[in-house]
Amino acid sequence: MNPDSAQPSRIVSSPPVSVRSADADGRADAGQMPTDARQGIVTEAAGVALRSVTKKYGPVTAIENVTLDIPAGAYCCLLGPSGCGKTTALRMIAGHEAVTAGEVLIGDRVVTQLPPAKRNTAMMFQNYALFPHKTIWQNVDFGLKMQRVSKAERTQRVGEILELVGLSHTADRKPNMLSGGQQQRIALARALVTRPQVLMLDEPLSALDENLRVRMRGELRKIQQQFKLTFIQVTHHVEEAFSLSDQVVVMNHGRIDQVATPTELFNAPASQFVAKFIGDNNIFEGRVSRTCRINGIESVELTVEGIGTLYCQGSAALNATAACSVRPDLMQLDPVLEDLAAPSTETNQVPVRVVDVEMTGYVTRVSLIVEATGQTMLYKARTTDWMGAGISVGQPLRATWSAEDCVFLPS
């Protein structure tokens, strides 16, 4: 049996961790993924930097003056809606798109003018781009052949990587004989076998069903941590970015709105766009009427038309146009009572009415309308808590939340 079709013997000695993905017919397919990658499979990770990068297509500016630093060994997700420039940014790092202005660095090398093959990176495409007429072994081996790696070394490296992703037993099969999850792992193996310093992934999970997508993102994160590689992934799924990333880069109209950890992004969105995009934040626009300190923290008093005064943490110039936001899980709903305490500098209160209730499983989404302005709001509660609350559609309530949970959003 020649190396292009052989299934290599097991060469990883560390204890295996079982990996399962669904076959096309829904049955579970068992693979083995070792807890530690074999030394030498990949080279040392490199950081990536963009310096005042701009990309234009004729009169259209896709990326405008973007500067970004991605640390070596980080899992970074470029997050944003369709057309925001995230895929263009990824392709410029990979060398598949020319830079109109600015510089791209990988490690300490300026690679702006280098072709993709000279950048020591690899790309995993959205559709996997597997060769349908080649076996799995030949698909994974292809990049090494293009690099003119010796046959003996190719045999070793392809065997190692197929063992790593738990698909050695598929070496003789064609891609159409594998499930979507298996094809995704083969595409990942083909990218990793070339030993890149940076692996780029263009929406690699978008073609998978929801359950398999959740399983496969766990595998991606496990492999990234195992190899300690720099992963840069394009996605428009907020949950996916939060679950995978060390660093999230939120893009909008060719610019970066915020760079943060998932926790920072979730708790402190930096703009109205970010607050709207990452979740169902309730946003109120107004004008800064006073600055103050609440519980020793610098805070802002925001006057909102039709609602009155809202308090949030932050700092701003007087009379500046601004906004604040509160997550739907941080609010409380209270009955409207005559003796309900008046609003204080620590608690915001807004009269609302329930207009719709949607049970989605563990969480129930409650649509509200602000009586005075007609603005819609969202409240979220655990379904078990909501079922015991005794609140019905049409009931008037007061939505309350603390200044500490209210995020200031400069305009």
Give the pLDDT band of residue 39 (cuts 50, 70, 90): very low
Please give the residue that has the higher pLDDT: either 9 or 87.
Answer: 87
Give the pLDDT band of residue 93 (cuts 50, 70, 90): very high
What's the pLDDT at 296? 85
pLDDT at 76 exceeding the cut of 60? yes
Give the pLDDT band of residue 128 (cuts 50, 70, 90): confident
What's the pLDDT at 12? 29
| CB 44 within 8 Å of CB 227 | no
Indicate the angle between helix axes 180-192 and 210-227, nearest 10 degrees: 20
Give the pLDDT band of residue 352 (cuts 50, 70, 90): very high
Which amino acid is located at 99 in the chain? V
E strand spans, 58-211: 60-70, 75-79, 101-106, 109-110, 121-124, 198-202
Give the pLDDT band of residue 29 (cuts 50, 70, 90): very low
| Nearest in space to 402 (alpha carbons), one of 353, 332, 316 | 332
Q: How many other C-beta atoms lie within 10 A of the C-beta of residue 4? A: 17
Which amino acid is located at 284 in the chain? F
pLDDT > 90 fraction of the chain, expressed in percent and rounded: 64
Tens-place pLDDT, residues 164-203: 888 899 999 999 998 888 888 888 889 889 889 999 999 8
Q: How far apart are CA 181 and CA 201, in angstroms?
A: 15
**Would you state the structure tokens that stand for residue 388, as one six-digit string?**
């015991």
What's the pLDDT at 235? 94
Please give the residue that has the higher pLDDT: either 130 or 63.
Answer: 63
Domains of the chain by start residue, with CATH: 1-269 (3.40.50.300), 280-410 (2.40.50.100)
Q: How far apart are CA 395 and CA 232, in angstroms?
A: 47
* Vertex 32: Cα angle to 128 and 169 (nearest 5): 65
What's the pLDDT at 33? 39
Indicate the angle between helix axes 151-164 and 136-146, nearest 10 degrees: 130
Q: How far apart are CA 384 and CA 6, in angstroms?
A: 55
Tens-place pLDDT, residues 322-334: 999 999 999 999 8
Q: Which of 73-77, 102-106, 140-144, 245-249 has the lowest mean pLDDT?
A: 140-144
Pairing of strands 247-252, 255-260: antiparallel
pLDDT at 27 exceeding the cut of 70? no
The set of residues, in sequence order, having a beta carbon less than 8 Å from that of 391 and lying 6+ positions away, is: 333, 354, 366, 397
Please give the residue that has the higher pLDDT: either 16 or 144.
Answer: 144
Please give the residue that has the higher pLDDT: either 12 or 137.
Answer: 137
Please give the residue that has the higher pLDDT: either 42 or 357.
Answer: 357
What's the pLDDT at 337? 60
Which H helix or E strand runs over 54? strand 48-57
In total, the chain counts a number of residues equal to 411
Number of alpha carbons in the 13 Å side-chain half-sphere of residue 78: 29
What's the pLDDT at 345? 59
pLDDT at 373 exceeding the cut of 60? yes
The partner residues of 129 in beta bridges, in order of sequence, read: none
Tens-place pLDDT, residues 285-313: 999 999 888 888 889 999 999 999 999 98
The set of residues, in sequence order, having a beta carbon less than 8 Å from that of 1 and lying 6+ positions away, is: none
DSSP string, 298-322: EEEEEEETTTEEEEEE----TT-EE
What's the pLDDT at 350? 93
Q: How far apart are CA 286 and CA 291, in angstroms?
A: 14
pLDDT at 156 exceeding the cut of 60? yes
pLDDT at 237 exceeding the cut of 90? yes
* Vertex 213: Cα angle to 191 and 77 (nearest 5): 60
Tens-place pLDDT, residues 94-121: 999 999 999 999 999 999 999 998 999 9
Q: How far apart are CA 375 and CA 251, in angstroms?
A: 27
Mean pLDDT of the chain: 86
Tell me phi and psi for residue 78, to 5 degrees: -90, 115
What's the pLDDT at 42? 52
Pairing of strands 376-382, 363-370: antiparallel
